[in-house]
């Protein structure tokens, strides 16, 4: 009976340990270290290429490195702009190929979406994508597993500009600055209101004592057990 108990206990421990490790790998990143006044900009791109040259100029002017999550179909249609983003020193992330509702796809279909985009980006820039931003911010266990199997960490956000709704740029500035916190990942898209809002956002961030850091630095700062920093309310 004792032997059986020990064996059972060992098996239970192994199962629990395996699940914990899987959870660590699969947990999306929402934010960086809550003890540091760092924030990061992420830009999801499936459209709006006409606004990107000016956005890149603004980032260069303010010495900011962002993370641009590109869809494969957009990259295929905009190879020179993709190369310009990479040459400017920004992180290029994976946003899937066709911007589908990924929760409706199988594991194999999700893997194909990510792999196809990675290959196109690598052929153009020589860079392998490391981060995956799921379209529409949707994910489930299948989506997270697909990201893991293709060597990507899933990235979400804690501050959403909602710029895709084309609100007044003053509204975007107020929204972002009111929601700032240590380790914030700030999501935006290439839109006209975003361009107008960025100078005010950057100034406000710095006035509050924050630094805009590359996503890689934000998420690599002493990653906690469980794979992500707890959010407010966790």
Q: How far apart are CA 141 and CA 221, in angstroms?
A: 25
Look up the domain containing 215 and give its range.
30-220
Q: Would 6 be classed as within a structural domain?
A: no
66 vs 173: CA distance, rounded Å:
18
Q: How many domains, the chain?
A: 1
Give me the residue label for tokens 């003053």.
Answer: 170
State the DSSP code for 27.
Answer: P
Is residue 82 included in any domain, yes or no? Answer: yes
pLDDT digit string, tens, across residues 118-148: 999 999 999 999 999 999 999 999 999 999 9
pLDDT recorded at residue 220: 84
The pLDDT value recorded for residue 12 is 33
CATH code of residue 187: 3.20.20.370
pLDDT of residue 13: 31
In a domain, 22, yes or no: no
Please check whether residue 214 lies inside any domain of the structure: yes
228 lies in some domain? no
7 within some domain? no
Residue 85 lies in a domain: yes
pLDDT band at 221 (very low <50, low <70, confident <90, very high): low
In a domain, 231, yes or no: no
Alpha helices in 27-160 (DSSP H): 52-61, 72-77, 79-87, 107-125, 141-149
**Interior/surface letters 105-119, b for 16+ CB within 10 angstroms, e for the rest:** beeeebbbbbbbbbe
Nearest to 32 by CA among 184, 216, 134: 184
């Amino acid at each position: 009976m004792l032997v059986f108990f020990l064996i059972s206990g060992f098996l239970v421990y192994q199962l629990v340990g395996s699940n914990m490790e899987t959870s660590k790998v699969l947990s999306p990143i929402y934010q960086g270290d809550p003890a540091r006044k760092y924030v990061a900009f992420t830009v999801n791109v499936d459209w709006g290429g006409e606004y990107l040259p000016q956005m890149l100029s603004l980032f260069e002017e303010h010495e900011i490195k962002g993370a641009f999550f590109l869809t494969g179909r957009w990259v295929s249609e905009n190879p020179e702009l993709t190369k310009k983003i990479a040459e400017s020193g920004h992180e290029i992330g994976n946003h899937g190929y066709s911007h589908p509702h990924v929760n409706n796809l199988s594991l194999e279909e999700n893997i194909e979406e990510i792999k196809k985009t990675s290959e196109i980006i690598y052929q153009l820039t020589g860079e392998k994508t490391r981060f995956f931003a799921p379209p529409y911010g949707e994910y489930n266990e299948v989506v997270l597993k697909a990201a893991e199997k293709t060597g990507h960490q899933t990235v979400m956000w804690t501050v959403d500009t909602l710029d895709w709704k084309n609100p007044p740029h003053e509204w975007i500035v107020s929204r972002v600055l009111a929601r700032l916190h240590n380790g914030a990942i700030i999501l935006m898209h290439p839109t006209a209101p975003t361009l107008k809002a960025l100078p005010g956002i950057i100034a406000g961030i710095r006035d509050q004592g924050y630094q805009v850091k590359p996503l890689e630095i934000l998420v690599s700062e002493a990653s906690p057990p469980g794979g992500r920093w707890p959010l407010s309310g966790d």
